[in-house]
Amino acid sequence: MERRMELFRDVIAAFDEGFDLAEKYDSMVHRYGEETLYQSEMHLLQAVGRAPGITMTEIAVNASKTKSACSQMVHKLQKRGLLTQVRNSQNNREYKLYLTDRGREIYCAHEEFDEACLKRSYTYLDNFSEQELLVYIAIQKRLNEAFKADIDENG
């Protein structure tokens, strides 16, 4: 039992290190041509690029963010000429979001960059079998359940 707990502590330490690195990466600004964007801004552009006509409410729900936070970001990106809002003809209170030509260029450049990063990361895992990757997924999903329970209990 003691050895298993020590291994578990190592798992959590590795997870924490990965989380810290991901957080550091997400907080960096990224340059796309002449545009500089934070990851959160790029994620919003991605959501619109992948689902043209999506609403702020849908983005907020999918990203677990408030509508107010999404609205502020949409207005910021709209001012920069990357997004447009079109009033929904069936619901005057709702706006559908679309990328501008400039926004689409940045979205496409980011998708290419993401794909290159994904391929690079994929090669780092060449030594692991499909079964080992499936075990990792199962472990991570179970840990996510524990993390959600922590949030529910303490949030």
pLDDT of 72 > 90? The answer is yes
pLDDT of 1 > 80? The answer is no
Q: Contact at 8 Å (CB) between 72 and 58? A: no
Q: Contact at 8 Å (CB) between 83 and 103? A: yes
Contact residues for 69 (Cβ-Cβ < 8 A; gap 6+)? 60
User: Is 99 buried (19+), middle (13-18) or exposed (0-12) by CB count in 10 A?
Assistant: buried
Query: Which pLDDT belongs to residue 112?
Result: 92
**Structural tokens at position 74:** 């949409």
Mean pLDDT of 110-136: 95
Phi, psi of 101 (to 5 degrees): -60, -40
Instruction: List, for residues 41-55, the tens digit of each pLDDT value.
Output: 999 999 999 999 999
Which domains, ranges and CATH numbers included, belong to the chain?
Answer: 2-124 (1.10.10.10)
pTM of the model: 0.79
Residue 108 amino acid letter: C
Q: pLDDT band for position 89 (50/70/90)?
A: confident
Instruction: List, for residues 10-64, the tens digit of each pLDDT value.
Output: 999 999 999 999 999 888 898 887 889 998 899 999 999 999 999 999 999 998 8
**CA–CA separation, 124 and 64 (whole Å):** 30
